[in-house]
Amino acid sequence: MICRILLLISLTSCVSGAFVVNVTQSSYQAEENNNITLEWMFTAKPESSSTSLHIYCQLFTDHNDPVLYHVDGGVEVPESQDEHFAGRVQSDKDALREGRIRLHVSRLRTDDSGLYECEVITDYGSSSDECFLNVTAAVDQPKPQKPTVRPQPESRGRIGLYIGLIGAGLALCVGLCLLILKRNYFQSSGGFKKTQLIFSQEEMDLQCKQNKIVIEEVIIDVHTGHTQHSSFPLADR
């Protein structure tokens, strides 16, 4: 009985001291062009040297297995990162000291989908765990249609006022043009008649002197209504 108890205590201590790597989330769902953070946790010992820490994280797909994060002897090795993830993966160094692997992946693509595994090796143990990421294509959102702007009653009133003013202005211009044309016509016509009248009078005097035209003069008395006739040659006048 005592042997069984000692064996149980020994097994419990061994299990509790085992090195473990776990994912904080077994699966992720995201849309392309967005960002996401993948996270693993491992057993960290402060007394252990950082130079004994080795981390190897990669993506498993049907085509290839690109590496997204590599730590060798406690130092990141960016040269090991596959060009598929170049410039898109950032690690949290402060979290790494606490036993957490936090990888921030930006500008997600649909071919980032797949199984991600991180393997951690230390001088006190090694382990690994994996998670799945599914990246869907971005949905094109319809462009918002511009609302049809309807003229307000006040706007319609202003438009009518402007049209009325324009019409009145045009009518005034036409009237002024007609008035000016009419005045010019009468002025030119009257001057012509006056000139003709002057020349006609001279000609008439000449004719009267030559032909001795007799003009009859009639005088009417407004009180009695009697008339008085007299005649004389136009030349004598």
In a domain, 40, yes or no: yes
Neighbours of 123 (CB within 10 A): 13
Letter string b/e over residues 82-96, b meaning 16 or more CB atoms within 10 A of that residue's CB: eebbeebbebeeeeb
pLDDT tens figures, 117-138: 999 999 999 999 999 999 999 8
182 assigned to some structural domain: no
Question: CATH number for the domain including 59?
Answer: 2.60.40.10
Whole-structure pTM over 0.85, yes or no?
Answer: no
Which 8-state DSSP code applies to residue 147?
A: P
Q: How far apart are CA 141 and CA 179, in angstroms?
A: 66
What is the residue range of 118's domain?
A: 17-136
From 99, 121, 136, give the residue that closes a domain: 136
Exposed, middle or buried by CB within 10 Å (0-12, 13-18, 19+), for 42?
A: buried
212 is a domain residue: yes
pLDDT at 220 over 90: no
Q: In this structure, are 41 and 114 located in the same domain?
A: yes
- What's the pLDDT tens digit per position in 69-114? 999 999 999 999 999 999 999 999 999 999 999 999 999 999 999 9
- The verdict on 132 and 226 lying in the same domain is no
How many domains does one find in the chain? 2
For residue 129, tell me if it sits in a domain: yes
Measure the CA–CA gap between 46 and 50, rounded to whole angstroms.
9
Same domain, 208 and 121: no
